[in-house]
Structure 1
Amino acid sequence: MARTQSKDYFDIRQGILRSAARLFAEKGFSTTTIVDLANACNSSRGALYHYFNSKEEILNGIIGEHVSTMLEDLNTIAEARLEPQAHLRAVVRKIMELNAVNNSEQIVLLNDWNQLDDETRAEIGASQRKIIAIVRDALARVDTAHRMTPKFATTYAMSLLGSINYTYAWYDPNGVVTPQDYADQVVDVFLNGFLSKDG
């Protein structure tokens, strides 16, 4: 007979994912044990197995939820039908905001992507490609100079994403520059150039 879920099942599960993300980001997925996870979650191994079948399933949950949340939020922005530059700015702000709030999750995504099983990696990879397409399309909408040719469209999108996806290495979300400030700075430099008169 299956165990019934407690009313706070979801909150506890999310707490495990958050604690595990911080631990994986600090220690690495491969060298983290179930005992390490239990200690980080102030739990027991048995209690962890009530919510997840394995360490690998926890990793899947961390990366999967991080990427799916980003994709859902970006799709919501698309539904607002903003004018082109406002749309691009909103997309970059949202990605930067999610990366700043979920710093550990972003580190785990970038560092432990190769630890996912093939099926999960394929599913998350498909979602990531959709995110890249959203950024590429947002750039295309403001591309009055017609730089977004088939040859260069993806490289422009990846260049912009690279400016915000790797901020975990140095950016302090509690510092004087807010995630929105930094996102706007990236967009301004990307669209206008560092030496523009308005820069």
Structure 2
Amino acid sequence: MPRGRAPGYAMQREQILANAAKLFARQGFTATSMNQVADACGVSKPALYHYVDDKHQLLVEIAANHVDRLLGLIAEVEAAGLAPEPMLRALIERFLALYADTQAEHQVLTGDVRFLEPPERERVLDGQRRVVAAFAAALVRVVPELRDARLETPVAMLLFGMMNWTFTWLQPHGRLTHADVAPLIADLLLGGVGSIEALGAPPATPSTAPRAKARSRTPPAAKAA
């Protein structure tokens, strides 16, 4: 009869993945050894192999689990039945809140997926495409003209350009938090620089925060996308 897993196995495994993600984010996947992962987790190397097969499995699960968390957030926001603009803002806020707690995992996803084997990489990339498609659909609900101009995906990618790289400049204990930045990103996306509300200032009126509209002409770059 096979031995059952010890109590706390799942929690210990999650901690191993979290510690590995921090190492990969700080020094890179290829520069990190299983010895370093074991040391960071406070376990022996043989004990580490009780939880994972190898370093490659660590990378697969860190990337795949992070994408699954993002897809789960989208499902939760979509199930809330919000109006178009509040839904888009909620997506941005929820993503930034998750990024605040999973910066290492996010860095691994953006920087180390290239080290995955093709089938594994395709699985992760497919999940990322589903995330982008969900944001593109949310954008179209707010600005329907984006679909006619075939700009919903490029605009979604621009939005992710703002969100995804906050870890490169937003300091954990700095003046701004991820919660502060989320509405700034939403305001900038929906109304341009002039629509950004100063923190602590009264909310802008509709007349001072005009809704962004897509151009009717499709730029050449958008056709390529």
Q: TM-score range by the shorter chain?
A: over 0.9
Deviation at residue 2 of structure 1 after TM alignment? 4.3
Partner Cα separation in structure 1 for residue 172 and residue 191 of structure 2: 25
CA-atom RMSD in angstroms: 1.6
Deviation at residue 142 of structure 1 after TM alignment? 0.6
Partner Cα separation in structure 2 for residue 198 and residue 175 of structure 1: 28
1:139/1:157 contact within 8 Å kept: yes
2:38/2:48 contact within 8 Å kept: yes
Deviation at residue 99 of structure 1 after TM alignment? 1.2
Deviation at residue 120 of structure 1 after TM alignment? 1.4
2:92/2:186 contact within 8 Å kept: yes
Deviation at residue 42 of structure 1 after TM alignment? 1.0
Partner Cα separation in structure 1 for residue 2 and residue 115 of structure 2: 30
Aligned residue in 2 for 1:82: 82
Counting only pairs closer than 5 Å after superposition, residues 1-199 of structure 1 correspond to structure 2 as 2-143=2-143, 146-149=145-148, 151-196=150-195, 197-198=208-209
Deviation at residue 5 of structure 1 after TM alignment? 0.7
2:119 is aligned with what amino acid? E
Please list every run of 5 or more consecutive structure 2 residues that lacks an aligned counterpart in the other structure: 196-207, 211-225
1:103 is aligned with what amino acid? Q
Check 1:83–1:173 CA distance in 2 against 1; reply closer, same or farther (3 A cut): farther
Partner Cα separation in structure 2 for residue 5 and residue 130 of structure 1: 34
1:136/1:156 contact within 8 Å kept: yes
1:77/1:90 contact within 8 Å kept: yes
Aligned residue in 1 for 2:202: none
Runs of 4+ residues deviating >4 angstroms: none
1:175 is aligned with what amino acid? G
2:170/2:177 contact within 8 Å kept: no
- Which secondary structure state, in structure 2, belongs to the residue aligned with residue 183 of structure 1? helix
Partner Cα separation in structure 2 for residue 163 and residue 19 of structure 1: 26
- Which secondary structure state, in structure 2, belongs to the residue aligned with residue 60 of structure 1? helix
Deviation at residue 118 of structure 1 after TM alignment? 1.5
| Matched-pair identity in % | 34
Partner Cα separation in structure 2 for residue 149 and residue 155 of structure 1: 13
Partner Cα separation in structure 2 for residue 176 and residue 18 of structure 1: 26
Give the TM-score taking structure 1 as reference length: 0.94
- Which secondary structure state, in structure 2, belongs to the residue aligned with residue 181 of structure 1? helix
2:140/2:147 contact within 8 Å kept: yes
Partner Cα separation in structure 2 for residue 118 and residue 184 of structure 1: 37
1:74/1:91 contact within 8 Å kept: yes
